[in-house]
């Protein structure tokens, strides 16, 4: 079999990495744009390295927390976020009476974490980091520079102490999840029939949740092939919606696809397309909100950290239920009992259906962002523009989340019940984070 892997936007990614290496950072060493560039670099690396959505959320969460914990000292009165979460120790404090550049410290803390949570494109990171650090070196006295770097490194390593015992390392040794032949249970889906992704993610230590099952959704509809049953009607709805998609529904499904690796088949040729993850999309929305409001470095870092925590805990809660109920995907059951010719508009991701992960993480992130920036925050979502050439306007974070949620039904990869219950669970996760951190 001939296999060719085409990396969508690979040339854009590496061109931007090259430009980033050559580009002078802003003369203002406290410009929040430095933090935005750091996050953008991470997103590009996550896309190129093809991390699964849950794993990507973990990288965003730890690195964003580290950045905030360092930069918060640039203004008085900003409490630690990490110390209010599960499993973190007391955060280091800067030496009194000594000069620091906290944006530099935040950058060092951020990349200390990024490197040690196992991203692979370290050469690209090294080139980018060197360009940023050189700018600080040229504009700071040596003692302030060294002190700031050391402080950021200490923050990063303190954050990483929690990452070493959060369950991730242990989860890497788990066997594959291949589903079940039991009626109504998930099994690998076409076209590639991959094993279930991150099936033990509920073993991860949540950051703000009391447990992975704190907001367990109600039981999904009981599996049945009876045409009068709730389950059959849900499956048939996916089938009928998929056959009659409007142009707007197609655009919505495309815009919110956020599948990090879609494999297209043409005979014996396989073409892999890399894209932003669902979490990366919402980190991009957090960036838009910060820039639109001209947020200072502390508010910028806070927005990233809260959003990342919302994503991380929502994935844990959702994945806890996904592999508990292990509900069969629409494509599998529709092909079996309704139409062998049915192909969903979007490629079905490799894990069980219930509840919808995209619905959960977007509801969680939008709840937190609305608390930070307001419930009627209108914005142009350009997060995916450079990757898929699309942008959409929303009048609020909640409106964006609702559209992301229903896109899974339009895409033919979720039943309506999975979409609705995923959103409800995500809202609860977001509110739990607000209650814990404010």
User: pLDDT tens, position by position, for the chain (438 residues)?
Assistant: 333 333 334 333 433 433 444 444 445 899 999 999 999 999 999 998 889 999 999 999 999 999 999 999 999 999 999 999 999 999 999 999 999 999 999 999 999 999 988 767 777 788 999 999 999 999 999 999 999 999 999 999 999 999 999 999 999 888 999 999 999 999 999 999 999 999 999 999 999 999 999 999 999 999 999 999 999 999 999 999 999 999 999 999 999 999 876 656 555 555 556 778 999 999 999 999 999 999 999 999 999 999 999 999 999 999 999 999 999 999 999 999 999 999 999 999 999 999 999 999 999 999 999 999 999 999 999 999 998 999 999 999 999 999 999 999 999 999 999 999 999 999 999 999 999 998
DSSP class per residue in 132-156: HHHHHHHHS-HHHHHHHHHHHHHHH
pLDDT, residue 269, reads 55
- Residue corresponding to tokens 């973990």: 58
CB 21 within 8 A of CB 131: yes
Helices (H), 277-356: 278-292, 297-325, 330-337
pLDDT, residue 122, reads 77
Residue 329: name the closest of 428, 424, 194, 159 by CA: 194
Residue 199: name the closest of 389, 352, 327, 397 by CA: 352
pLDDT, residue 124, reads 78
CB 413 within 8 A of CB 319: no
pLDDT, residue 25, reads 42
Domain 202-437: give its CATH architecture.
Orthogonal Bundle (1.10)
CB 106 within 8 A of CB 67: yes
pLDDT, residue 438, reads 87
Question: CA angle, corner 162, sides to 156 and 165, nearest 5?
Answer: 135
Residue 422: name the closest of 341, 367, 346, 359 by CA: 359
The model carries a pTM of 0.92
Q: What dihedral do alpha carbons 195, 259, 212, 180 form, nearest 10°?
A: -20
Question: Cα separation of 423 and 426, whole Å?
Answer: 5
Q: Which residues pair with 380 in a beta bridge?
A: 393
CA distances from 57 to 116, 307, 329, 335 (A): 15, 10, 24, 33
Which of the four CATH numbers 2.102.10.10, 1.10.3470.10, 3.20.19.10, 1.10.606.20 does domain 18-169 have? 1.10.606.20
Helix, strand, coil % in the chain, rounded to nearest 5:
55, 5, 40
CB 52 within 8 A of CB 260: yes
Say how many C-beta atoms besides its own lie within 10 A of residue 137's C-beta: 14
pLDDT, residue 125, reads 86
CA atoms within 13 A on the CB side of 283: 33
Question: Cα separation of 36 and 20, whole Å?
Answer: 12
Residue span(s) of the chain under CATH 1.10.606.20 come to 18-169, 202-437
Rg over alpha carbons for the chain, rounded to the nearest Å, is: 22
Question: Cα separation of 411 and 239, whole Å?
Answer: 10
pLDDT, residue 270, reads 52
């Amino acid at each position: 079999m001939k296999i060719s892997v085409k990396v969508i936007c690979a040339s854009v990614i590496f061109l931007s990495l090259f430009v980033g290496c050559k580009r002078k950072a802003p003369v203002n060493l406290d410009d929040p744009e430095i933090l935005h560039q750091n996050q953008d670099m991470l997103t590009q690396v996550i896309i190129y390295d093809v991390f699964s959505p849950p794993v990507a959320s973990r990288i965003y969460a730890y690195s964003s927390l580290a950045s905030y914990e360092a930069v918060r000292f640039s203004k008085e009165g900003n409490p630690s976020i990490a110390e209010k979460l599960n499993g973190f120790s007391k955060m280091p404090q800067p030496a009194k009476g000594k000069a620091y550049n906290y944006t530099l410290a935040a950058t060092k803390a951020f990349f200390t974490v990024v490197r040690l949570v196992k991203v692979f494109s370290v050469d690209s990171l090294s080139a980018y980091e060197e360009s940023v650090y050189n700018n600080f070196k040229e504009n700071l006295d040596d003692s302030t520079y060294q002190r700031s770097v050391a402080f950021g490194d200490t923050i990063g390593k303190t954050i990483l102490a929690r990452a070493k015992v959060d369950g991730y390392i242990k989860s890497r040794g788990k066997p594959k999840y291949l589903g079940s032949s039991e009626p109504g249970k998930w099994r690998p889906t076409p076209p590639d029939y991959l094993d279930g992704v991150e099936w033990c993610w509920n073993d991860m230590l949540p950051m703000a949740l009391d447990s992975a099952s704190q907001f367990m959704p109600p039981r999904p509809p009981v599996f049945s092939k009876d045409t009068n049953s709730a389950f059959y009607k849900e499956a048939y709805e996916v089938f009928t919606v998929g056959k009659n998609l409007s142009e707007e529904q197609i655009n919505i499904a495309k815009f919110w696809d956020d599948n990090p690796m879609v494999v297209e088949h043409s005979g014996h040729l396989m073409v892999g397309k890399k894209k932003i993850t669902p979490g990366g999309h919402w980190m991009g929305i957090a960036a838009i909100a910060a820039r639109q409001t001209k947020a200072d470095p502390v508010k910028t870092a806070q927005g990233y950290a809260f959003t990342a925590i919302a994503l991380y805990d929502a994935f844990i809660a959702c994945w806890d239920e996904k592999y508990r109920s292990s509900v069969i995907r629409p494509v599998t059951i529709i092909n079996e009992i309704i139409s062998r010719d049915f192909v969903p508009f979007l490629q079905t991701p490799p894990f069980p259906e219930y509840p919808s992960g995209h619905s959960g993480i977007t509801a969680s992130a939008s709840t937190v962002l609305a608390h930070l920036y307001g419930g009627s925050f209108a914005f142009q979502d350009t997060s995916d523009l450079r990757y898929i050439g699309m942008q959409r306007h929303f009048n609020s974070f909640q409106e964006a989340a609702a559209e992301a949620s229903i896109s899974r039904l339009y895409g033919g990869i979720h039943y309506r019940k999975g979409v609705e219950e995923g959103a409800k669970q995500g809202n609860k996760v977001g509110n739990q984070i607000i209650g814990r951190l404010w």
